[in-house]
Amino acid sequence: MNVSSRIALILPLVSLISLNCHADEKAVSITPVGSVGDQPAPEFLDLTKTIHAAIVKKAAEQEAGEMKAYTETAPEAEDAEFEMLPIPGGTFTMGSPEGEEGRKADEGPQREIKIEPFWMGKVEVTWDLYRQFMDNENLNYVTRNKNGSLNRDNDRQTPEPNKAEGDETLVDILSQPTAPFHVMHFNMGNGAGYSEDYPACSMTQHAASKFCEWLSAQTGHYYRLPTEAEWEYACRAGSKTAYSFGDDASKLEEYAWFRKNARIDAVYEYEYQPVGEKKPNAWGLHDMHGNVAEWVIDSYQTSYAKVPNGTLNPVQLSKDRYPRVVRGGHFEMDADGLRSAARHPSHPSWKENDPQAPRSIWYHTKARWLGFRIVRPAKIPPVEEMHLLWNTGPGEL
Amino acid sequence: MNHDSENNTRRSFLKKASAAAAVTPILGVPAIVNAQNMGSKTLKVGLIGCGGRGTGAAVQALSADENIQLWAMGDAFSKQIESSLKQLKKFGKRSEVAAERQFSGLNAFQQVIDSGVDVVLLAAPPGFRPQHLRAAVEAKKHTFAEKPMAVDMAGVKSVLESTALAKKNNVAIQHGFCWRYAPSTRAAYGKILNGDFGRVTSIYGTYMSSVYKPIPKDAVKPKGMGDVEWQVSWWTNYEWLSGAPILEQSIHTVDKIAWGMGDVAPIAAVGTGGRIQRDDPSNVYDHYNVSFEYPNGVFCQLGARQFSRSHTEVIDRIFCEDGSVVGPGQPRAIDGNGKTTWRYRPEAGAEQNMYQVCHNEFFADLRAGKINNSGEYMANSTALAILGREAAHTGKRITWDKLFKSDEDMAPDSLKFEDSFAIAPVPVPGKKS
């Protein structure tokens, strides 16, 4: 599909991705299917513009070249490091064939999907990277409004303008989680609190997106959640089988932590495991199958019927908070749920153990098997797209 | 820190009220009589304290069965009622509360109780709990009371008297020590108390979290606002309202120590604590380490703190002769070699949300004419946390018996929003306050 017909497809769907912005239309890297409704989070748009400008500037200063694997440091996460692997662009068949064992109806109809190049986290986001964002603690006891903005008027219900004051940095004023009453790592991992190399868990999709914004602001690179198509493309790594390594589920133990092998048998061995211990797929990605399930951006639609064949990086959007999509299955699931094409819709019950009303927009208190990994598109999209994909919104609380 | 000079302190109120109640045996109307009108009637619920937790409790009450109507609401601040109602909209007519039954101010609790309700949910700051519980029980309302039950020993004694009065009045008291309702911890503590792992030899429980709703350093009371209104609006920061973090938050861990020990009385506590990170205008400690001494040489340790940028954990380790149990999340037992010998597996289809279990059981029992009363162990767990706090405050070894001789009452019940009310100084061990 050429660019102009792609744009024609976009326009009736999302007016957000406007053509009169400074970036040229080729930079639009997703094809929205459906809409989140009105422009999301207008109160944060200025912040997105600031971050976008910094990312564009940094890219201009760097020489373009071949995409390579790299390691990045997050200064605001006590210099935690994370590795990003290049994922080449290409075309793949999304969804599973009807004969696949364990297949569900929502994995079709199969679609030919085009994907542009991006980098993807070699492993799931770990606590050592996520923790500082989640706690956003400071010795001055600055508190956050309900929407995550800095609380300046001592009323947490009302958000205030997002302008830096005094020595505050851009990162300080970004929306970040409110302080939890209970510890939200649920003593997972090594059993004694935050466990650096275990996947961060139990966050909402909104929290994961805001983390990406926070990480982008401090690194100058554009990070976001993967689209569902990007995720499956990366998981398959060229394969067409049920799992990235083939159809034989008996080999899954070599590649994944799931119900069969993630059992506890020692004091500090909990159900999920440190990232990167199992074999990677053909593109070097670990734990795409199992360990924690991974957020993608998309809302959950019961099929791919609305996604035309040949679409470039589709993302199915909805203004509804539930259901959204998680992928890859997790340590409490059986093999079927870990297949490359398997999709899992989110549900309000994932917040069930939150005793407060309204429930927090940041935590899925009951989904301790839920995590995410990040991507970085090779092309920097227009500011509107960047904003949209960081703000598909907390939605209904 | 005493305010005994007031005429109407909680303590003097107690003396005047009903000394008889405390010794009344469990009699009252036979439960079956009660059941006849409770089984299918619409139960009218009054919510007292409409913050996040109170609203959450209302959600659980309304979810417990179809025949429950939110009838009245009360909060110190009317704004809270508005936002609470918004959260409850999904229940449609069942959460529509007529404007004349929405009450604000410090007397709202009495107005809710007097509005024709059958059941009240108490979720105001804990400093008010004994007063609210007393009023509810005297008016013969079945009551759900959030934790903790009190912030001082005058309050604990009041709760014990209300407990006895509730038995006499044949009304139920349900508590909010949520882990006592979690299917997972019930299974674990059931096995511990059954002796499956041998005798409990020690417990180490932690509640090490970050700082929850601190008062900003630069917070300034608006001109014309009374001390009391200001402090109530920042209630977690003041001991007379929240009891401090050891009562307001780590009481969950304290309560599980009590549970693991079979809710028997301890002998004494020794502890340390203080304010090492906090320099805001609150008067609460930010950390405590307490050793609770129990009969037969069993010691139970509590490690509790609210620190920024530090290790956090909330873990109970119950050491038994034949292994130990680790919880509260996914509880399991391990033997001396670290091998897991038991772990909890959720029962398919069983309600796992402990907050919902609490209300499901509360209302189901009411419907069935079962009048439960958990006031005594609620009061004991609260007193256990006070024992730890006072040991840390004073630097002394405080015995359980001595604690119950204390009539400390941090604030009179008669306070009004506009009153001046100086914040008590932060206790320094060894120094008389």
Å between A156 CA and nearest CA of chain B: 10
Rounded-to-integer distance, Cα B31 and Cα B372, Å: 10
Q: Which of A137, A186, A266 sits opposite B308 (nearest CB)?
A: A137
Chain B residues near residue A188 by CB distance under 8 angstroms? 329
Q: What is the pLDDT of residues B111-170, one digit of tens each?
A: 999 999 999 999 999 999 999 999 999 999 999 999 999 999 999 999 999 999 999 999
Q: Which of A151, A157, A355 sits opposite B53 (nearest CB)?
A: A355
Please judge whether A357 and B208 are an interchain contact, meaning their C-beta atoms are less than 8 angstroms apart: no
Rounded-to-integer distance, Cα B430 and Cα B433, Å: 9
Q: Has residue A4 got a pLDDT over 90?
A: no
Rounded-to-integer distance, Cα A126 and Cα A89, Å: 26
What DSSP assignment string belongs to A282-348? Answer: TTS---SSSSSEEEEEEEP-S-STTS-TT-BSEEEE-S-SS-EEEES--TTS-GGGGSTT-EEE--G
Neighbours of B223 (CB within 10 A): 5
Take residue A28 and report the two structure tokens written for it.
């639009």
pLDDT < 70 regions, chain B: 1-37, 432-433
Please judge whether A141 and B217 are an interchain contact, meaning their C-beta atoms are less than 8 angstroms apart: yes
Task: Report pTM.
Answer: 0.87
Q: Has residue A356 got a pLDDT over 60?
A: yes
- pLDDT at position A28: 65
Beta strands in A123-194 (DSSP E): none
Neighbours of A72 (CB within 10 A): 19
Please judge whether B314 and A267 are an interchain contact, meaning their C-beta atoms are less than 8 angstroms apart: no
Q: What is the pLDDT of residues B293-315, one digit of tens each?
A: 999 999 999 999 999 888 899 99
Rounded-to-integer distance, Cα B216 and Cα B224, Å: 20
Å between B339 CA and nearest CA of chain A: 5
A312 touches A227 (CB < 8 A): no
Q: pLDDT class for A154, splitting at 50, 70, 90?
A: confident
- pLDDT at position B29: 42
- pLDDT at position A2: 38
- pLDDT at position B349: 85
Please judge whether A141 and B330 are an interchain contact, meaning their C-beta atoms are less than 8 angstroms apart: no
ipTM: 0.81
Helix (H) / strand (E) containing A83:
strand A80-87
Q: pLDDT class for A192, splitting at 50, 70, 90?
A: low
B304 touches B171 (CB < 8 A): no
Chain B residues near residue A137 by CB distance under 8 angstroms? 210-211, 308-309
B340 touches B333 (CB < 8 A): yes
Q: Which of B59, B313, B314 sits opposite A357 (nearest CB)?
A: B59
Q: What is the pLDDT of residues A59-117, one digit of tens each?
A: 999 877 889 999 999 999 999 999 999 999 999 999 999 999 999 999 999 999 999 99
Q: Which of B59, B82, B90, B210 to mutate to test the interface with A (most CBs of A within 10 A)?
A: B210
Chain B residues near residue A193 by CB distance under 8 angstroms? 208, 311-313
Chain B residues near residue A141 by CB distance under 8 angstroms? 211, 214-217, 278, 280, 308
Rounded-to-integer distance, Cα B221 and Cα B84, Å: 25
Å between B402 CA and nearest CA of chain A: 32
Residue A265 near chain B (CB below 8 Å): yes
Please judge whether A357 and B353 are an interchain contact, meaning their C-beta atoms are less than 8 angstroms apart: no
Rounded-to-integer distance, Cα B215 and Cα B235, Å: 9
- pLDDT at position A193: 67
